[in-house]
């Protein structure tokens, strides 16, 4: 095996190998070849990272909000200053188009860090008061403690920001594990943040990164030190985290799967809807929990819309990181390619494959943009998250049936409604059982607005003041007058 890059853990301000020397191969998904190794961290590595975070916590907890803000503002500046390096690392691990990664991730990441920098100085709470005679009550918001955080492989560096920024802003310390298939950009973030902590004279253990597999993540969650475990991942992983955390009653923050319904009514601008839905479905190869991949369209315009969506899909290109005109890259790994292909191979007889449905090329994990129509509510591909560049289409006859179909899955993260009828849009936004409802658009996320779902999509919020508050605890202080 010939690899050119060796990644290492970053614990208490130093780069270190796994204590027992074990490593994992890191594969470039554009060609399927190993290009790096990363540590396969075990119990000793988790112990060391948790000890560093625990030691750093008292000083960081007691730092002023202004100090926390300065740290985060410097991190945001560094993300922009080292954007090329971060994008290089991210694209090597994920195969994403470089142009889109720069435009769609670096700016939002820096903006999100700056949002939480501001939030650090704006903790809100009820005013002190006398709620019983002779007694004054005060409510304090405090950091929770050490946070064990696990990021996914679909947006490695952006979800790392979603994890560490609110945690640090609130005064917590962090042990963060990237996915085993995409560790490079997170390790680079550790180098950047470690250098800033050192320059500011802050404890090195405020931010730690350890690499590893599912077992490493399990050891982190089960470790007695963290007060909160946060994960973005599959439903199965979320259930395992919740079960492990229950053993010592840790707080848990889960952002899991999605199966976003996209409800297109007969009065919608069908051409615009098809264009935006295709973009929101195929971006990042559909590897997005909010992807617009489950379309419900009124039967009176079904055929016209399917034709428009199929045309938009056929005009969508997959290809390598630096290829011109590419809209998305490969699936992340061989197992994900097999999963996506399996859903298409198992399509029921009543389904119609409108376009796509096949691998692209012999090297790497590329899959064609795919549209499938003629599906029914109970079909496997409707009920389960495919997590690939696959759009399904169903018919509905009226608003009640649209709501029934939309809500009739186990996921409840995001959704969208396409109509010119304002009253209908407001009714649908109330009736749809999803953490986000977009109207005549799909996919925009803002630092100021919460992101998170219901049901098997998890609980807790990323982004926004709500996400910030998830990393705090509330204490009542009462004093006699």
Residue 386 Cα to chain centre, angstroms: 16
CB contact set of 83 (below 8 Å; sequence gap of 6+): 102, 106
CB contact set of 88 (below 8 Å; sequence gap of 6+): none
Whether 39 contacts 8, CB under 8 Å: yes
Nearest to 275 by CA among 224, 236, 232, 309: 309
DSSP-based helix, strand, coil % in the chain, nearest 5 = 40, 25, 35
Q: Give yes or no: 436 in active site.
A: no
Residue 33 CA to residue 50 CA, distance in Å, equals 33
Residue 427 CA to residue 315 CA, distance in Å, equals 34
Whether 255 contacts 460, CB under 8 Å: yes
- Our separate counts of H helices and E strands in the chain read 16, 23
Write phi, then psi, for 92 (nearest 5 degrees).
-65, -40
Residue 59 CA to residue 406 CA, distance in Å, equals 48
145: left (phi over 0), alpha (psi -120 to 50) or beta: left
Whether 118 contacts 465, CB under 8 Å: no
3-state secondary structure 4-29: CEECCEEECCEEECCCCCCEEEEEEC
For residue 68, the surrounding DSSP H or E stretch is: helix 65-81
Q: In this structure, is the dihedral angle defined by the CA atoms of residues 308, 310, 311 and 316, taken in order, positive or negative?
A: positive
414: helix, strand or coil: strand
Which of the following is catalytic: 255, 354, 385, 469?
Answer: 255
Residue 208 CA to residue 330 CA, distance in Å, equals 30
| Number of neighbouring beta carbons within 10 Å of residue 78 | 19
Which of the following is catalytic: 91, 147, 211, 289?
Answer: 289
Whether 282 contacts 313, CB under 8 Å: yes
Q: Give yes or no: 289 in active site.
A: yes
Residues with a catalytic annotation lie at 255, 289
């Amino acid at each position: 095996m010939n690899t050119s890059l060796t990644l290492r853990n970053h614990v208490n301000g130093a780069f270190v190998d796994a204590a027992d020397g074990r490593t994992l191969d890191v594969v470039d998904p554009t060609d399927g070849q190993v290009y790096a190794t990363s540590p396969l961290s075990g119990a000793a590595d988790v112990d060391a990272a948790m000890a560093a975070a625990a030691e750093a916590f008292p000083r960081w907890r007691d730092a002023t909000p202004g100090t926390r803000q300065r740290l985060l503002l410097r991190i945001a500046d560094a993300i922009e200053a080292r954007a090329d390096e971060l994008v290089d690392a991210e694209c090597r691990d994920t195969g994403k188009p470089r142009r889109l990664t720069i435009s769609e991730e670096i700016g939002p990441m820096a903006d999100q860090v700056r949002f939480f920098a501001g939030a650090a100085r704006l903790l809100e709470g009820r005013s002190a008061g006398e709620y019983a005679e002779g007694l004054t009550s005060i409510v304090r918001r405090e950091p929770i403690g050490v946070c064990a955080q696990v990021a996914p492989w679909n947006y490695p560096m952006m979800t790392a920001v979603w994890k560490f920024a609110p945690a640090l802003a609130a005064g917590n310390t962090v042990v963060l594990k990237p996915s085993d298939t995409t560790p490079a950009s997170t390790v680079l973030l550790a180098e950047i943040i470690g250098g800033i902590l050192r320059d500011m004279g802050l404890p090195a253990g405020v931010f730690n990164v350890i690499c590893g597999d599912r077992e490493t993540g399990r050891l982190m969650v089960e470790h007695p030190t963290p007060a909160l475990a946060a994960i973005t991942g599959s439903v199965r992983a979320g259930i395992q985290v919740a079960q492990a955390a229950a053993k010592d009653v840790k707080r848990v923050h889960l952002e899991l799967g999605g199966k976003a319904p996209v409800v297109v009514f007969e009065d919608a601008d069908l051409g615009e809807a098809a264009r935006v839905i295709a973009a929101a479905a195929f971006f990042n190869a559909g590897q997005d929990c909010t992807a617009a991949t489950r379309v419900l369209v009124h039967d009176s315009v079904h055929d016209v819309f399917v034709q428009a969506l199929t045309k938009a899909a056929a005009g969508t290109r997959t290809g390598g990181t630096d290829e011109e005109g590419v809209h998305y890259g490969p699936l992340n790994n061989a197992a994900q390619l097999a999963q996506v292909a399996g859903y298409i191979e198992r399509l029921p007889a009543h389904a119609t494959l409108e376009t796509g449905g096949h691998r692209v090329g012999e090297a790497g994990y590329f899959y064609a943009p795919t549209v499938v129509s003629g599906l029914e509510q109970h079909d496997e591909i409707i009920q389960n998250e495919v997590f690939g560049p696959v759009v399904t289409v169903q018919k509905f006859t009226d608003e009640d049936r649209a709501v029934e179909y939309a809500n009739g899955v186990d996921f409840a993260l995001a959704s969208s409604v396409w109509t010119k009828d304002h009253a209908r849009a407001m009714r649908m936004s109330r009736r749809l059982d999803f953490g986000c409802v977009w109207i005549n658009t799909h996919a925009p996320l803002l630092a100021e607005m919460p992101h998170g779902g219901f049901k098997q999509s998890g609980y807790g919020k990323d982004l926004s003041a709500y996400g910030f508050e998830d990393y705090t605890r509330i204490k009542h202080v009462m004093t006699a007058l």
